């Protein structure tokens, strides 16, 4: 299963979104417009607007508000990526030099701020106040999740409950928002909107578990980062959390010291073998499947349509992808 197949029912609308998105990024300030046009060139998979469009399709149909919702989400996501690259001192993004690598940190931070403002104004100019409430909740959760992960990573004491809190806030909150905004743009049925929100939350958690698994079983994750990067950054994810809990105490302590010492990437195979030996990889795969099943359940009762099938196919894509 691939995204091209999944997006077939909305391919025309997705093309219209791209045009809408580019127009929304424009500025009369030369440097701002130059950076914005460069950012647009850093083409991602557009997973978030895809979810907005598909969610609207199964909720009554795509309309002008749907394009604004999709653009709001993508502008917000783009702003967070620009800020993340500054925080991480990253020199590339999606195969191109990052904004901070070209224009330095000051311009990058201000560009991220500009995009956040553009997204807010896009909603305010059209009185989409419901969109603002939904997106503001997501921003709050994303920020809290990121800070919680930083706090816990320093101590290397993340347990499973904390891990799920972090990934729900950092990743699932935005995918949940995509599905809720899509539904809200096309329907006034609050129960349906909440159902689509829960669908997005479940698929978001499965999405992040699978992404974390790719540090152990894949060559490169969907975010483009090299395999093993989370381990070199001393971030404990589900395969290792579960394995540390199951391993003999002395061996678990040795592994924690190994990670704290920041061993070179070539030694990461020892961490992978540890996770395999104590069931961490298998357990994480099982939990990803569990949340995928929950996502499927949230779609029960929706009329059959190509768009509903595309959402079901997206679930399969999330839990089976290898890059």
CATH of domain 3-320: 1.10.600.10
HSE-up (13 A, CA, CB side) for residue 320: 9
Task: Give the global pTM.
Answer: 0.90
In whole angstroms, give the CA distance from residue 262 to residue 251: 17
Is the sign of the CA dihedral 9, 51, 80, 209 positive or negative? negative
Domain residue spans in the chain? Answer: 3-320
Q: Tokens 């499927």, residue?
A: 296
pLDDT digits (tens, 9 = 90+) for 135-165: 999 999 999 998 998 888 877 778 999 999 9
* 238: Cα separation from own chain's centroid: 17
Percentage of residues in the chain with pLDDT exceeding 70? 93
222 — pLDDT class (breaks 50, 70, 90) = very low
Distance CA 101, CA 103 (A): 6
How confident is the model over 164-213, as pLDDT tens digits? 999 999 999 999 999 999 999 999 999 999 999 999 999 999 999 999 99
Q: How many CB atoms lie within 10 A of CB 261?
A: 9
């Amino acid at each position: 299963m691939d995204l091209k197949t999944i997006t077939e029912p909305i391919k025309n609308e997705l093309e219209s979104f791209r045009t809408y998105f580019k127009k929304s990024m424009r500025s009369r300030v030369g440097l701002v417009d130059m950076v914005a046009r460069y950012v647009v060139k850093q083409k991602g998979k557009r997973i978030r607007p895809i979810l907005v469009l598909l969610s609207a399709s199964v909720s009554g149909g795509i309309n002008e508000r749907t394009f604004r919702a999709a653009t709001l989400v993508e502008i917000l996501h783009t702003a967070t990526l620009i800020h993340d690259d500054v925080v991480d001192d990253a020199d590339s993004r999606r195969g191109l030099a990052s904004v901070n690598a070209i224009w330095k940190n000051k311009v990058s931070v201000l560009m991220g701020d500009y995009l956040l403002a553009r997204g807010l104004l896009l909603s305010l100019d059209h009185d989409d106040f419901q969109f603002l409430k939904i997106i503001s909740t997501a921003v709050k959760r994303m920020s809290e999740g990121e800070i919680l992960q930083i706090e816990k990573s320093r101590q290397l004491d993340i347990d499973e409950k904390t891990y799920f809190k972090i990934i729900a806030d950092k990743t699932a909150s935005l995918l949940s928002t995509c599905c809720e905004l899509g539904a809200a743009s096309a329907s006034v049925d609050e129960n349906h909107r909440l159902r689509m929100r829960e669908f997005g939350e479940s698929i978001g958690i499965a999405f992040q578990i699978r992404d974390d698994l790719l540090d152990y079983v894949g060559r490169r994750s969907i975010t483009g980062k090299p395999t093993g990067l989370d381990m070199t950054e001393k971030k404990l994810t589900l395969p290792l959390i579960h394995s540390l809990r199951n391993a003999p105490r002395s061996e678990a302590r040795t592994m924690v010291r190994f990670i704290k010492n920041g061993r070179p990437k070539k030694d990461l195979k020892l961490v992978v073998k540890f996770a395999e030996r104590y069931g961490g990889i298998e357990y994480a795969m099982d939990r990803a499947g569990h949340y995928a099943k929950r996502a499927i359940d949230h779609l029960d009762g929706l009329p059959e349509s190509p768009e509903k099938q595309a959402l079901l196919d997206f679930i399969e894509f999330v839990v089976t992808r290898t890059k």
